[in-house]
Homo-oligomer: A and B are copies of this chain.
Amino acid sequence: MDSIKLGIIGFGTIGSSVAKILQQNGEQISQRLGANLQLLKVADLDITTDRGITFAPGILTTQAEEVLDSPEIDVVIELMGGYEPARTFVLKAMARGKHVVTANKALLALHGDELFSSAEKAGVALLFEAAVGGAIPIIRAIKESFVANKIQEIEGIVNGTANYILTKMSDEGLPFDQVLKEAQAKGFAEADPTFDIEGIDSAHKIAVLTRLAYGTSVKFDNIYIQGISSIRQEDIECAQQFGYRIKLLAISKFDGTSIDIRVHPAMVPQEKPIANVNGVLNAVLVRDDCMEENILVGHGAGGFPTGSAVIGDVVDIARDILAGCKGRVPPQSYPGNALKDIPLKNIHEIEGEYFLRFVVQDQTGVLSRISGILGQHQISIRTMIQPERGTEGGEVTLVVMTHQALENNIQKALLEIDALDIVSEKTVLIRVEK
């Protein structure tokens, strides 16, 4: 039986899971593929930590170059994460004619242009199903299944840590800080959770999906990103009162002219399927001109879900090698020469409905001053509630849901309102996605 030879760079949770799945399910993989997947090298600076798997001598190494230099290795699996040296390693592997599988969304979001054009030039595969949504087969769906479809919108819950925190806050009424600490203790959040809770990881993923869906390169710095660290229990409770759940959404909409791409917490109507994707689960919704909505739900992180997606990609490459073909599917869904330059919408240009939570002095006339300013900026109020009466002369919360309004007008109005002496805290804004 033929054998396709693999090298892994990065022996953490995902790397060790890939090796374990290859051992445990190797027979099935060989049956389906008609060839063996053989792991020749596993490189990591740390090869002493027990990862629950043992290898024959000579496989584990601290030298990534041993993977890159091996003339036998067909596929390099990059699972170290981060920008460097991952970028250099991936470029070197491709320049040496090796196919690459990676789960590194940060790398693809920031250095996609360079990496994809290098892959095309070298005539090698660069696959990355595991980079978005873990085991959810969204990358292959966009590249291969929805190829006839004009995608109009992608909406994703693509960060399990943030979704876990928001779910816990919603279901158990706990404050953000406490839930974050619990998540860290359980291993659902990293010691430095910035990328997850501040929306950066979600932005990496929506940048990757946007490239595939519309055939365009997205300048990462131009993506509007807002995380969940400012979400308070009061916001969650108000959302529930209004029939919504708060989710950290990664959104990318294409109207044929420009792309509206952004990451922020959003109010999602409770009856929508995506509102019920809870805990560490991820979901990606795709809307297009042919099939209306498709929603894919699954585990977006974790060694085995992500590891199995990595092996799915490896098998894809192995099938090309065994069938003697190259370049069947363009690495970035569109061939490099068919990429389009599509402008991104500024967040100020979008229109939507808004949830606004004001903290104001408990005085007469407050409501009329606030609603007056909103009215001056063409913002009309759909619903207003005052969740609780404050102590006399103290502070009260005032919650407003608007009708459709222009973000630019909302921002201008909030600048004016937040400057009022009767307003005690910066107003919280949460966008509504219907």
Contact = CB atoms under 8 A, between A and B. Distances in A.
A322 B327 CA distance: 10
Nearest to A145: B137
A299 B315 CA distance: 29
A65 interface: no
A330 B295 CA distance: 27
Contacts of A329: 319
Given A149-B308, A296-B296, A31 B335 contact: yes
Protomer copies:
2
Interface in A276-316: 276-277, 288-299, 304-305, 307-309, 311-312, 315-316
A135 interface: yes
Contacts of A323: 320, 325-328
Contacts of A345: none
B215 A312 contact: no
A36 B46 CA distance: 50
B308 A146 contact: yes
Contact of A311 (B147, B296, B325): B147
A25 B315 CA distance: 30
A304 B290 contact: yes
Interface residues of A, number: 64
A134 interface: yes
Contacts of A148: 21-22, 25, 28-29, 307-308, 311-312, 315
A147 B330 contact: no
Tell me whether chain A's interface is mostly helix, strand or loop, or mixed: mixed
Contacts of A145: 129, 137, 140, 309, 312
Nearest to A340: B31
A36 B101 CA distance: 29
A375 interface: no
A5 interface: no
Nearest to A135: B291
A372 interface: no
B150 A28 contact: yes
Contacts of A28: 148, 150
Nearest to A329: B319
Contacts of A309: 145, 291
A149 B25 contact: yes
A289 B25 contact: yes
A143 to B, nearest CB: 9
A144 interface: yes
Contacts of A129: 145
Contact of A294 (B144, B292, B298): B298
A291 B311 contact: no
A150 B276 CA distance: 27
A285 B335 CA distance: 33
A319 B144 CA distance: 10
A32 interface: yes
A245 B288 CA distance: 29
A53 interface: no
A347 to B, nearest CB: 28
Interface in A315-361: 315-316, 319-320, 322-330, 333-335, 338
A33 interface: yes
Interface in A17-36: 21-22, 24-25, 28-29, 31-34
Given A32-B333, A137-B294, A291-B309, 16 more contacts: A21-B290, A25-B289, A29-B148, A31-B335, A32-B338, A135-B294, A137-B137, A137-B144, A140-B140, A144-B312, A146-B308, A273-B297, A291-B299, A294-B299, A323-B328, A328-B328
